[in-house]
Structures are given as structure tokens and as C-alpha cells.
Amino acid sequence: MRRSLLPSTLAALLASGTALATPPAQLPADPPQASAATPATSADARFAALSQQTLDAWMRLSPVSATQTGDHRFDDRLDDLSAAGRQQREATEQGLLDALNGIAVAQLSRQNQVDAALLRNQLQSDLWNTRVLQAWAWDPQVYNDLAGSAIYGLMAREFAPLPQRIRAATARMELIPALFAQARANLDPARVPLIHAQTVARQNKGILSIVDTFITPHLSELPAADAARTRAAIEQLKAAVAQQQAWLENTLVPNARGDFRLGAEKYDQKLRFALSSDLSRTEIKQRAQAEIRRVRGVMYGIARDVLKDKPGAPALPENPSDDQQQAAIEAALALAYAHRPARDGVVDAAKAALQEATEFVRKQDLVTLPDAPVDVILMPEFQRGVAVAYCDSPGPLDKNLKTFFAISPIPDDWTQAQTDSFLREYNDSMIELLAIHEGVPGHYLEGWHSAKYPSVLRGVLRSGLFAEGWAVYTERMMQEQGYLANDPLFHLVQLKFYLRTVANAILDQGVHVDDWSREQAMRLMTHDTFQQESEAAGKWTRAQLTSAQLPTYFVGAQEQFDLREAVRARQGAAFNLKAYHDQVLSYGAPPVRYVRALMLDEPIR
């Protein structure tokens, strides 16, 4: 999972507004530049000006996202989610969309045509979210994510001296009580789904762990007056978190009556914004169902090879029944499950796997490797409960800072049975695949390449479809290139991991459109795609908490596979895998359809 560059606004809340504090004393001389390219036409010049105007507006309206982008002019402010703030953002974005509609897009350079399409999609998505979806009124994750990211985004990366970052964090801590008050005023318990309320009630106190980890140990390094102000802000924050916790537990959770399902109309519109694809919900489902059948057939062939002549092996006929196929694949997977990390060894195993994958890519010369650092870390507490792992890349304006490959620890209150189920799913081969997906040559590597593209606008609007599709593509690509000495059990687990991707697309619409029960969802995951109970249960929760994100893996991957074969067919014997990879990654991660258009000189639609 690639953690969004703008989780608190453009990707999750999409309904914020003006800032709550005075500007910092020192500002950069200029706002972020939309592009380093010189405009070629008057239309290009108008679009460059509009892009810069849009970026500056977004940064001012969403200071937390600005920090994550690397624009630090607003590090001591918070987003405003009041009615007035939302109205200002809506008016601003409608004005930007009107200005974009006044530009003759056909007269733009091809690269600017791509950026114009991205900008239009984002503005339309933002306005739809504000006016129709209204997450600010029913999703408490909006406020929890914003509060945690406000501090974490300042403290996790060393973009400025520590005292400067703590001063900004102090200013934000002083504003978080007002943010919590906005949450209590905005959220309508009758519209809040119970799963959302319960999840945030578990996460809420995690913001204090950020303070305990990154700020409290360094108070002695601050001037006395600054330290006193920070201590006061921490005490104020503790009181605010306690007040919010009491409200969550005593008011929101008992009264949460909302439906977590979007319904067909809202889901289809959100999916179109998320995918920038011509595929309909029905077409996605049909392709995914066909892919499950195909991949299970390949897995059965591997199972026959690895189980041949093994004592106690199930029946392995050439043309198996469904039950025979199921039994054989499960028996073969059990051989892989026997090799797994210790309960407290998942992070260390991921670190070793990341190093191994990096060395393989270097030795095989598959793609240009990053020169910026990456850390494998325990997922911050305030972000746990949605996904097992994510990759958090620095923003496009923060150059050569760390990327974080975060893994959620096994909860302390899990039973031995739950732990065993988790470790069967995250066996040694799966940890290798997780390191490929989140690290090299997946999200970490892709994020580093994408950040080199000169358009900040494109960096801010980095496509989740491209990023997730690329990460899934690299899992298959590494197996095809012989990773782990062509180990058939690794290949089997890679196919199982890919089936999770395919199942994601079916599960998401099953939950949000087709009214699937938990039993239907678990059948798809545990039977059809071989997921362990703990993984499937976590994905069931994630499907309720999110929408239109899970299909990005499958749709993005199909487009990545199709693009490689189209380029290979055009270039023939001249095709070079590293050159292909470097070119695909050179465009700043727009949706794959635009990369294809640029590489194959097709029309940009």
C-alpha cells in the first residue's frame, strides 16, 4: 500500500479550508513551482500560471498536506474543517476549475495535456467529495488522520533543525483541540458507520505516542521559553485527546448508525475519479473473476510439481475437480507456511528481504536504483488498523529525505491462534514479496523516480493507480527474472499474493454495491484466493473503512502488464527491460493510460 502524499485532504478528507493560525515568521521566497519546463505556447503559459496558482491555493488551504509535499511555509497551521473553511475551499476549487475550462487544452504541449487532465480530475473529485460524499460529516478518520499527520509529518523527517520542527509542532498541538471541536460539531452520529467510530476510538490516543516518541525526549534541547511553551501544549493536547476519547466512547460509538456501504451511484463516481480508466465496475468484476480462474490453474500446476511423490499428498489428477484443485493448492502452500518469522521478527525479516531484493535488482540491472535512504519501521500507532504495511515517500519538494516502509506489529492482545494465522500469511516468501511491493523495486523505488519529474503538480497528484499497479507488476517481474533461484514455493506465494490483488477489486464492489455479507467476503478471500483468516478479517475491515482504493491494485497492474507487452511488441529485439522500466518511471507517475500515450505516441484523452 502506498501511503498517499496528501492523506489529510486530497486523498481522504477532500473537504478542508482555511488555516487556523498566523503565518510563520519565515516563508520561502516563492510558492512551489508547477513545472520546470518553459511554456511553448500562450496556452502553455496560461496553464503554467494556473498550475502554480492551484498549488499555492492547495498549500494554503491544507497546511498539513503542504508539509508532506515539502512546502514548509505553513508548518505551524492546521486545516480548517469548519463550514466557513469548507465553503472557502469549495469556492476556490470551483474558480480554479472554471479557469481551467477557459484554457484550450488541445493547444498545450503533450506533457501539459496530461497535467491538465490530472488537474481537472482532481478538482472535479474534490468538489464532488465536498458536495456529495461529504466525508467531513460522517467519517471520523478524516479528523484522526489530520491530527496525527499534523505532528508526524513535521517530526518524522529531518527537513529542518529539530528545534524549528518542534516549534511548528507546538503551534499545531495548540490548534488540535479546535480541530477536535470541529469533529464533534461536524460529525452526525446517525451518518457515522459503527466500524469507523470504533476504529478511530482505538486510534485516537495514538497521537500522544507521536509526541512521546519524537518531541518529549528532546525538550531539554530547546531554549527555556520554547520548552515551557511546548510542555504546556503537550498538557493541553493530552486533555484534548482525553476529551475526544470520552466523546468517541460515550457519544459517537453508542450512537453510530450510518451505513458503511456507498451504494452504486456514489461508488461508480468515486471509482471513475480514482481509476481514470474507461473500465466499468462490471468489466472490472468480469476480468477479475476470469483472472482468478486462470491463476488458480497455474497454481495447481505448481502444486502438482512440488507435491509429486510426497507422502500423504492429496490427489493430483491432470483435470481436477474444484475440491481436488483446492486441496492440492492448500497442501502446497502449507509447505511455504512452514517457513515464517518469529512473532517479534517481522520487521527484521522485512529489512533482510529489502536488502536481498535490492541486491538482486542491482545484480540483474533491472532498473536504476534510488540513492535516497529508506527505513523499515513499526507503523505509528495512530495509523494502525487499516493495512498491514505501507510505503510513505517524501513529498516532491523534500529532496533526498527518508522513505518509510512501515509495518504494523502483531497486536499484544492477539491469541496464539490469531498470531499463527498472521504468520502463516506473512511467511518468509510473503515477507519477500512485501519488501518487493513496498520497497524495491516497488513503491520506494517508484516514488524516488517519480519525484525526479520536474512538475510539482504531477508530483502532488501522483496516481495511486500507477503506484499500486507498478508495485504489483514488480512482484511478477521479479519472479519472472528468477528471484530466489526460481523457487517454486516463492512462485506459488507470489501468485497467491497476486490473487489478493484480484480479490480486492471484487471485494470492494461486493461490499459497497452488492451488499455482501461478511461470510461472502470471507469465502472469496479464504477459499477462492487462499488468504488466512486473520488477513481476510483485516481486509474485511479495510473494505468497510475505505472505498475505490482496493481496485487500484488490479486495474493498475493490468494496465502495467499490457503496456510492457505493447512496448515489447513495438520494439521487438531492441526491447531492453531496464531501459523500459526507467522510461515508464520517468513521467512522474500519472495514471498508466497517460504513460502509455506518451510512450506509444497515442492521443491523450
As a three-state string, the secondary structure of 453-484 is: CCCHHHHHCCCHHHHHHHHHHHHHHHHHCCHH
Cα 237 to the center of its chain, rounded Å: 28
pLDDT score for 510: 98
CA distances from 28 to 25, 51, 72, 75, 284 (A): 10, 18, 8, 12, 45
What's the mean pLDDT when you consider all of the chain? 92
**Calpha distance 434→389 (Å, rounded):** 8
Give residue for cell 496558482. 53
Q: Where is average pLDDT lowest: 265-274, 362-371, 375-384, 516-525? A: 375-384
Measured CA to CA in angstroms, residue 187 lies from 28, 64, 81, 257 at distances of 36, 21, 11, 12
Per-residue model confidence (pLDDT) at position 525: 98
Instruction: Write out the H or E segment, with its range, that includes residue 377.
Output: strand 374-378
Place of cell 497455474: 298
According to DSSP, residue 552 is labeled: H
Q: Tell whether the model's pLDDT for residue 256 goes beyond 60.
A: yes
Bridge-based pairing state of the strands 389-392 and 374-378: unpaired
pLDDT confidence bin for 205, thresholds 50/70/90: very high
Residue spans per domain, the chain: 1-133, 136-259, 337-368+417-433+461-600
499-522 pLDDT per residue, tens: 999 999 999 999 999 999 999 999
Name every residue whose Cβ is closer than 8 Å to that of residue 549 and which is 6 or more positions away in sequence: 274, 464, 508
HSE-CB for 73 with a 13 A CA cutoff:
17
* 528/551 Cα distance (integer angstroms): 17
Does residue 385 have a pLDDT over 70? no
Q: Which of 299, 311, 316, 358 is nearest to 498 (CA)?
A: 299
User: What would the mean pLDDT of 88-109 be, rounded to a whole number?
Assistant: 97
What pLDDT, on the 0 to 100 scale, is given for residue 1? 60
Q: Which 8-state DSSP code applies to residue 368?
A: P
State the average pLDDT over residues 398-419.
Answer: 90
Sheet with 389-392, edge to edge strand ranges = 374-378, 403-407, 389-392
* 471, 282 Cβ separation under 8 angstroms: no
pLDDT above 70: percentage of residues in the chain: 93
Determine the Cα–Cα distance for residues 45 and 298; give it in Å rounded to an integer. 53
**Given this model, what pLDDT does residue 39 score?**
54
Distance CA 415, CA 329 (A): 27
pLDDT of 386: 63
pLDDT digits (tens, 9 = 90+) for 3-40: 554 433 334 333 322 233 333 333 334 445 555 444 56
215-255 pLDDT, tens per residue?
A: 999 999 999 999 999 999 999 999 999 999 999 999 999 99
In what helix (H) or strand (E) does residue 247 lie, and over which residues does it extend? Answer: helix 224-247
DSSP 5-72: SSTTTTTTT------SSPPPS---SSPPPS-SSPP-SHHHHHHHHHHHHHHHHHHHH-HHHHHHHT-G
Contact 111, 453 (CB under 8 A): no
Determine the average pLDDT of the residues in 122-151. Answer: 97
Contact 443, 391 (CB under 8 A): yes
Q: What is the pLDDT of residue 380?
A: 84
Beta-carbon contacts of residue 517 (< 8 Å; ≥ 6 apart): none
Q: What is the mean pLDDT of residues 477-504?
A: 98
Residue 32's pLDDT is what?
A: 57
283 pLDDT tier (thresholds 50, 70, 90): very high
Cis peptide before 441 (omega within 30 of 0): yes
Judge whether residue 316 has pLDDT over 60. yes
**pTM to 2 decimal places:** 0.90
Please answer whether residues 237 and 205 qualify as being in contact, where contact means their C-beta atoms are separated by less than 8 angstroms: no
Q: How far is CA 207 from CA 308, 401, 542, in A?
A: 53, 23, 21
Joined together, the cell numbers standing for residue 600 give 506509444
- pLDDT attached to residue 41: 76
